[in-house]
Chain A
Amino acid sequence: MFYREAGDFKTSYVDDGQTFPIRFDRYRYYAVLAVAFVVVPFIVGDYLANAILLPFLIYAIAAIGLNILTGYCGQVSLGTGGFMAVGAYACYKLMTAFPEVSMFIHVILAGGVTALVGVLFGLPSLRIKGFYLAVATLAAQFFLVWLFNRVPWFYNYSASGQISAPERTVFGIAVTGPNTEAWATYLFCLIFCLGTGLVARNLTRGTLGRTWMAIRDMDIAAEIIGVNPLRAKLTAFAVSSFFVGISGALFFAVYLGAVEVGEVFGIQKSFLVLFMIIIGGLGSMFGSFAGAAFLVLLPVVLKLVGVNVLGFPTDIVAHLQLIIVGSLIVVFLILEPHGIAQLWNVTREKLRLWPFPH
């Protein structure tokens, strides 16, 4: 019905090895891209952009970043919030120091700075593993937040200790600051999201990705067959931090506009992104998107349904939200430990055969 695979032959290795080898999947992917790039920018309003789409896209980038480190390379990290803060502050310093430069370059450079910091904090991973590494990255989280609170140079000596994004442009169109159009910020984030998605997908199925997965599955065996653990782990930290840094920069500059490090990039942000990849699916690109969508959209939908449709008091809805999201996480982890991505895979395999299963 949905999948008509008869006649879908591959005659080259390139065809066979592409991201979406099944024609229907590929067309659906193109359709989603077309809708996202051509249709949504024309209909997007402030609310849709600022409450749903921007957080979804930005968290998706962060989830891809963490998924590379935790899902593909097996290094548990609780420092995501801290690394996002590095991206945000790097972006802020660059934006204020070089106002005439395009935001694209600032965001990418902010990712680069975060990659360096990530490598630095990744060094202990060569010696310590598992829970102990998690604690080491937790130290990074607290240290970085403390640093940005403590050293006034990072926030340009502002009285409140906050950083706020001045207006910056891409090709003459404002993407940061108060006078932005919803479509501009949305497209800006979408381009980054697509870009990081493509890069991450292609990295993970190349040599680098295979060395990461080898380290994840059994580091000693990987070393014996010739994988250099130093290189594999540090590249994972670098690439992961690069993406997380980009998401932090976008989170600050495009989405929020003003940031207070302790509140926005605190430990709860690290956990949120970790939950996203656990619920979405460890080691899965689709899982990163699905997890981000689940944890960004669900609270908003519950709130809209509870407050606007059912008319409950706001505090009851806020409490219900916690209960429902929490219990859904538990239910998900019991019923499908490999996350939404696995759920989707199972469904897809069934759909491929439907309506005539063997």
Chain B
Amino acid sequence: MRKVAIFTMLVFLSAFAVAPMAWSADTIKVGFNIPLTGDIPKVGECSKYAAEIRIAEINGAGGLKVGDKTYKLQFIYEDNESKAESATSTALKLITQDQVLAIIGPQSSKQAIPAGEVCNASKTPMISPWSTNPKTTENRPYVFRACFLDPFQGPVVAKFASEEFQAKKAAVLYDIASDYPKGLAEFFKEAFEKMNGPGSVVAFETFTTKDKDFSAQLTKITKSGADVLFTPQYYDEVPLIVKQARELGWNKPILGSDSWGSAELMNLCGDGCKGYYFSTHYAAAGAKGATKDFIDKYTKKYNYVPDDVAALTWDAINLLCEAIKNTGGLTGNIDKDRDAVKDKLTQIKDFDGITGKMTFSPGGNPTKCAVIVKISDKGEFEFFKSVCP
């Protein structure tokens, strides 16, 4: 009798040891590696709220149909305290202990870069909704993102300038001592000159961080005959540039990048910035279609307008669901399923996200459209159009 008991126990134990290879038949577990506490708890909150809405919808409709079987979704939210080291341990916990199929998050590049390493090494697909640093996905076949990369906005704005304003000549003013504006300015120049011929960027002017007076550069720009001015600067420099440009007689469009998109911009710029444009991930004001639906659902439930993190998290969840569906059926072997999901993620084409259409390639970065925002006369960041590279 005893022997039988021991034998049964051994069987159970070995089954337990093997258990990680198999998993509960009809739920799909997805991990969220998000900052619920720490420096940016709001980011974690937005991600969680967006996920809560989405999971309620999917499970409310019966679940996710993969092949001929319908699965319920289960989301596991883990806090990475907005720290790089916690992000890696959280990722490990989700992969080994919770046995999730895939991970969404971390949001900021600071945590997404180290967590991406862990996920890639453990061969678990990870989608960072918000991390724009190229390093997050570099040489990591299992790591993806739902947003565009920093340098990507340059070509987008160049295209917008050419199409919207029929600009044949452009001017650029940027801070040469700061990586982000410098990268963007160079990518803009390259793209604009490809479209309008060499030398079409007639003024490529620089300054250094903390400069307040741009009059010499702006004089050159104003007299250069450029049709648009692109200045990928931060919200504390934009008001000075815009004001001085106007005083020197510049009355053509000024374009910016997502670094403009801070609520502080309008406090500092007042009326000066109204009527100008910048590229970004998503715009809440003036949104249409699915984007508007999402904003309405979110606002109704949580009483505030969701920001870009929430929208990108929403897209990341849908991307993952799409990839799971495309596998055509899960085997139940988690390693194989993780691999299948990764393969399907790289093959996603023309995915209609609320932050734009996305197409993936093996690099892990989507080719997607950016949103051009116009600063309205009321000082709101209003959706103007979506521009694809």
- Bound pair (A, B): no
